[in-house]
Amino acid sequence: MAATYEIVVALADALAGAGMRHVTISPGSRSTPLAITFARHPAIRHWIHHDERSAAFFALGIAKTTGYPAGVITTSGTATAELYPAVIEARFGRAPLVLLTADRPPALRGTGANQTIDQVALYGNNVKWFHDAPLPSDTSPDETAELARRAMEAATTSPAGPVHLNLPFAEPLIPQGSPPAATVDGVPPATTRPGPGLSDAAVSDLAERLSAQRSLIAVGPHGSPRQTDAVVALAAASGAPILADPLSGLRAGPHDRSHVIGHYDSLAQAGFFDAEPPDAIIRLGPAPVSKALNTWIAAHPAVDYTIVDTMPWADAGGTARSVFKADPAAAAGQLAGLVTDGPAEWMARWRLADSTAAAALHDASSPFTELDLVAAVLDAAPDPATIWVGSSMPVRQVDLLMGPTPRRLRILGNRGASGIDGLVSAALGSAAASGEETIALLGDLSLLYDLTALAWAGRDRPDVTLVVANNDGGGIFHLLPQAPLPEFEELFGTPHGLDFSHAAALFDIPYHLIGGRDDLADVLRRPASGPRLIEARFERSAGATAYRAAVDRVRAALATDN
């Protein structure tokens, strides 16, 4: 019969040996064996959070930034349910998480025992794998180590994602004497493993369909350096423009960006795709954020459209001629060696259109707008820096404005399920793991939703800059069909009337209210020394007005060029 701490030490050792280096811990009684063991482990750094929801998103930020699985420890009961939003984002955002939920002994389930809920398969199909572990007295250290290694393999096998180990413990929960000493296995950490490439027949067929064509390469979020190199090689071989999502990693960095079209979203909205329709499109990875691009593709089924992704049948528009479940980086590398160049003037026309759009978008003659705020962040961010962008308007504004740049700007976001919750926590986890200066560009509702994360920031003092566009509610809804409804203000606009100076003061975070690009640039050009909160206030509907006006300028500029 194994003792509780013997089993938990075996679990921690095996997770560390398979690559886990970070774990978040929230306070609770039933999770005591997990908390004590992981907090003492020499190879795993622990981070304490009072709020389990924030803890889970913090771990998500670590996983998305490092590519390595992060652990999340909670006590039993409703604490486990608080992880659910981050679990969903990790599943669709392809981030490796290992959820370690403490539970009461199985004999107490269904008896009305305090803080005992049904935690079996709690997250359903939103985790890649679930295991309801036995009590420590009913297993062995070797079996537990194998369980941990299996969990890490499931979390990191492409597409990466969350796994759930439900771990019941009986009292006593505190160590009886000295617990076994944790060890460091010495096995090198393993990050997400690439998936398989295309079959020989599929590569041959795709290469023939893309060769000598007016082709486009659309690249979605969740990119990697390996994918960047492969896509660049494919573009060079095929002569195809790269329509790079802002979270793809392709718009910024020292790699060859000569085929990257940064402003394709504005070009799609302005009608350029209709004027220069492609013969073929290959999409690598998830769908890009650009609604205009995705809508155009869905409305043109005659275009030879192919999707390569690790998720099964990722064709929301239903117009793809082929959908391959394969690793996008591997597929791009395979195709690069077989495709032949398309018409030279095709790439030239896209480059000209991209530069025309860039000049039209960066018109600073108007009053200070949310677009100016985003442009100032992109311009003044340090090199290198990680920029987390909100899933509502900020990511669309970055998509509209960000052109190719050699600066080392890593753009991240929670675009797996595209919720606005947990953004601050994810950015804090990212900064904690990377040690790199980190900026979170978000709206007021995102900050309001994740306000408890500021408590951690005020206590642990990471170098994180929060840039908040406060337009007093849900600004994106002014771009949607709900805007004319008589109930719009109450149900969608949802004004709150708050500023965030008091929140910053409560958590001892330096605060700056800015009124223009120069104000923001002055703050951002000073290296962060701990957390800081920058707020800019706007009239809510003005953001939608500025966004539409920017697209109109691109449309007019393209018409003039033609």
Same domain, 230 and 136: no
Predicted confidence at residue 224, as pLDDT, reads: 86
Of 338, 359, 380, which residue is a domain's last?
359
Q: What pLDDT sits at residue 1? A: 38
Q: Is residue 182 part of a domain?
A: no
* 163 & 145 share domain: yes
pLDDT tens digits in sequence order for the chain, 562 residues long: 369 999 999 999 999 999 999 999 999 999 999 999 999 999 999 999 999 999 999 999 999 999 999 999 999 999 999 999 999 999 999 999 999 999 999 988 888 888 888 999 999 999 999 999 999 999 999 999 999 999 999 999 989 999 999 999 999 998 887 777 767 655 556 567 777 899 999 999 999 999 999 999 999 998 888 999 999 999 999 999 999 999 999 999 999 999 999 999 999 999 999 999 999 999 999 999 999 999 999 999 999 999 999 987 788 888 999 999 999 999 999 999 999 999 989 999 999 999 999 999 987 667 899 999 999 999 999 999 999 999 989 999 999 999 999 999 999 999 988 888 999 999 999 999 998 899 999 999 999 999 999 999 999 999 999 999 999 999 888 888 898 999 989 999 999 999 999 999 999 999 999 998 889 999 998 888 899 999 999 999 999 999 999 999 999 999 987 6
Q: Is residue 174 part of a domain?
A: no
Burial of 255: CB neighbours in 10 Å, binned 0-12, 13-18, 19+: middle
Write out the two tokens for 508: 């001892």
Coil, strand or helix at 234? helix
CA-nearest of 270, 284, 278 to 218 is: 284
Residues 79, 18, single domain; the answer is: yes
Angle of helix 4-17 relative to helix 32-40, nearest 10 degrees, comes to 50
Among residues 456, 352, 440, which one has the least CA distance to residue 395? 440
The CATH number of the domain holding residue 233 is 3.40.50.1220
Residues 9 and 152 in one domain: yes
User: Residue 5 in contact with residue 33, Cβ under 8 Å?
Assistant: yes
Residue 156: give its domain's CATH number: 3.40.50.970
476 token code pair:
């994106």
Range of the domain at 243: 200-359
349 contacts: CB under 8 Å, gap ≥ 6: 276
Q: Examine the domain organization and report whether 148 and 37 are in the same domain.
A: yes
Examine residue 217 and state whether it is found in any structural domain, yes or no.
yes
Same domain, 107 and 24: yes
Residue 287: the pLDDT is 94
What pLDDT is stored for residue 122 in this prediction? 96
Specify the pairing of strand 511-513 against strand 532-537: parallel
Choose one of 168, 190, 223: the last residue of a domain.
Answer: 168
pLDDT of residue 109: 85
Dihedral-angle region of residue 461 (phi above 0 means left; psi in -120 to 50 means alpha; beta otherwise): left
Number of domains in the chain: 3
Among 359, 378, 394, give the residue marking a domain's end: 359
pLDDT at position 2, please?
62
In a domain, 190, yes or no: no
Omega before 172 within 30 of 0, i.e. cis? yes
